[in-house]
Amino acid sequence: MASGKSEEISAPKSRVILQQCLSAKLMVEPKSDASEAKYTQIGRGLVVYICFLKDASEDILDKMVKSILSACLSEDDNGKLVSVLDLPGDVLIIPQATMGGNLKGKKMQYHRNVNKETGLNLYTKFIQMCEDVMMKSDKCKERQTVVRYGTYGNRQVFSMDTNGPYSHVLEF
């Protein structure tokens, strides 16, 4: 950056919250005059809340996907922490632009967020890359684990059941 401020150089380009779950259910299409609300759901696995920040670009996606899917954050039947690929478990990706917020007085400000068009593009690619990695895993294929995801820009109506969320915040 022209200003030369060191905090701008190292500012994160994305932020994720990871939580392990036993099951989770997410609305992907709200109720309309024509139809009921539509939901997607997962069984045991990982809930990934995701937010892209200013200057985020596709070059961070590869590291994000590898880190998230291979991080040992899921408890297997023996209580050992393994990756969601090794569990193997499902993945639910939830877009959460609010995670870029900074508290200013009593209100949140979202100046750090990436613009919506870029955010949607990165979100879509991130999902595809997660699906690709899972498709290549023999364990995941055998257990028919799934990647599910919310609709970008929508309200994320959902419910979750966990035996310990084991929450982690990661920045890339």
Residues in the site for its own copies, rule: CB under 8 A? 6, 15, 17, 49, 67, 70-73, 83, 94, 96, 98-99, 101, 103, 106-108, 155-170
Q: In sequence order, what are the beta bridge partners of 95?
A: 50
Cβ 136 to its own copies, closest distance in Å?
Answer: 17
| Residue 142 identity (one-letter amino acid) | E
Residue 100 CB: number of other CB atoms within 10 A? 22
Cβ 118 to its own copies, closest distance in Å?
Answer: 20
CB-nearer residue toward its own copies: 141 or 168: 168
Cβ 2 to its own copies, closest distance in Å?
Answer: 20
Q: What tokens does 139 get? A: 């364990």
CB-nearer residue toward its own copies: 144 or 162: 162
CB-nearer residue toward its own copies: 59 or 107: 107
Strand pairing of 168-171 and 14-21?
A: antiparallel
Please state whether the peptide bond connecting residue 88 to the residue before it is cis, i.e. omega within 30 degrees of 0: yes
CB-nearer residue toward its own copies: 38 or 144: 38
Quote the CA–CA distance of 50 and 55 in Å, as a whole number: 15
